[in-house]
């Protein structure tokens, strides 16, 4: 594969005809911690190329929901389907599934003993067994896109928070996942670095990457989301387009939540 082909593949905006087909379906998901319910009865559908932003007060279960989608939490009841295949059986090989589901964490979690490039190449080389040359090209294309190519030989401790988070996004993207999960990835950043990370996500949204984003950045949610899912006390309370949600929320709980962000 030539550089330009890789570049084209990575930069391509996904064809519009794929839109609307379900990619990730969750039905009646229940999750408990020692008998205390964290997610009560969640049903949610995420379509291909859709950007879903999950909002809600802290402790409402939005991060837990994201972690369930990636098999980091065991669930007590319900089903999760990816591309029509059930993920929640005993036989599920999460190693294979996780290659299709990219995840970025609040605390970056880059591997501190590896350079940026080594962090990014670990998955493609060791998990996907791709050719080094091809993987390096893909990494370069992505790093250039987020303005980090010069930092490829730096160790995580030499990077700012924003740079670390951008590198972590690339680490997930280079696996060419079908869907990306973002778990409050700007929450630990200094204010001036939030923007550079949000810009990367916004650009991803425009290239029609399917994304589920947990965040507290309301302006960003307005700008990027196709749909807002509002959660409270382990339940999905509202599921509507951002235009509706921010302008005329249907429930009292959502109204109260939105008021917190207003002065």
Partner 1 sequence: MGYMVDTAFIVKFTPLYIEAMGLVLELCFFGVLFSLIIGLFCAIVRYYRIPVLRSAAGVYIELSRNTPLVIQLFFLYFGLPRVGITFDSFTCAVTGLSFLGGSYMAEAFRGGLEAIGRGQIESGLSIGLSRSQLVRYVALPQALAVAAPALGANVIFLLKETSVVSIVALADLMSLAKDLIGLYYKTNEALLMLVAGYLILLLPLSGLFRFAERRLRYAGFGN
Element (H, E) at 103: strand 101-104
Least CB distance from residue 160 to partner 1, whole Å?
Answer: 12
> Does residue 33 belong to the site contacting partner 1 (CB under 8 A)?
no
Among 42, 101, 146, 194, binds partner 1 (CB under 8 A): 101
Q: Which of 112, 147, 241, 243 binds partner 1 (CB under 8 A)?
A: 112
Q: Which of 42, 53, 172, 231 binds partner 1 (CB under 8 A)?
A: 172
Q: Does 96 bind partner 1 (CB under 8 A)?
A: yes
182 binds partner 1, rule: CB under 8 A: no
Q: Is 56 in the site for partner 1 (CB under 8 A)?
A: no
If one asks whether residue 109 binds partner 1 (CB under 8 A), the answer comes out as: yes
Q: How far apart are CA 148 and CA 144, in angstroms?
A: 6
User: Sheet holding 22-33: strands in order across?
Assistant: 36-47, 22-33, 77-82, 85-86
**Residue 150's closest CA among 123, 117, 104?**
117
How far from 111 is each of 8, 24, 168, CA to CA, in Å?
29, 29, 10
- Binders of partner 1 in range 63-92 (CB under 8 A): 70-72
Instruction: Report whether 48 contacts 19 (CB < 8 A).
Output: yes
Cβ distance to partner 1 smaller for residue 36 or 96: 96
Least gap, CB of 183 to partner 1 (angstroms): 10
**Which of 76, 92, 107, 160 lies at the binding interface for partner 1 (CB under 8 A)?**
107
Residues 163, 169, 172, 174, Cα dihedral to 10°: -80
| Residue among 74, 91, 129, 157 that touches partner 1 (CB under 8 A) | 157
Distance from C-alpha of 37 to C-alpha of 35, rounded to nearest angstrom: 6
Q: Does 130 bind partner 1 (CB under 8 A)?
A: no
């Amino acid at each position: 594969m030539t550089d330009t082909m890789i570049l084209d593949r990575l930069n391509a905006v996904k064809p519009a005809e794929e839109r609307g087909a379900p990619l990730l379906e969750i039905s009646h998901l229940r999750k408990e911690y020692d008998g205390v319910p964290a997610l009560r009865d969640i049903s949610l559908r995420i379509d291909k190329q859709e950007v879903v932003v999950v909002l809600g007060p802290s402790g409402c279960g939005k991060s837990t929901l994201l972690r369930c989608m990636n098999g980091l939490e065991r669930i007590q009841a319900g089903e999760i389907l990816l591309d029509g295949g059930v993920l929640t059986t005993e036989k599920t090989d999460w190693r294979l599934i996780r290659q299709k589901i990219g995840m970025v964490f609040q605390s970056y979690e880059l591997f501190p003993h590896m350079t940026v490039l080594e962090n990014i190449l670990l998955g493609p080389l060791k998990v996907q067994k791709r050719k080094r040359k091809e993987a390096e090209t893909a990494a370069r294309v992505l790093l250039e896109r987020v303005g980090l190519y010069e930092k490829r030989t730096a160790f995580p401790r030499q990077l700012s928070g924003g740079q670390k988070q951008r590198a972590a996004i690339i680490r997930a993207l280079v696996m060419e996942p079908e869907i990306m999960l973002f778990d409050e990835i700007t929450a630990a950043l200094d204010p001036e670095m939030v923007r550079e990370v949000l810009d990367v996500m916004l650009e991803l949204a425009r290239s029609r990457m399917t994304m589920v984003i947990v965040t507290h950045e309301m302006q960003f949610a307005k700008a990027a989301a196709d749909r807002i899912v509002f959660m409270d006390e382990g339940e999905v309370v509202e599921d509507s387009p951002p235009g509706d949600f921010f302008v005329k929320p249907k429930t009292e709980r959502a109204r109260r939540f939105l008021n917190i962000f207003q002065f």
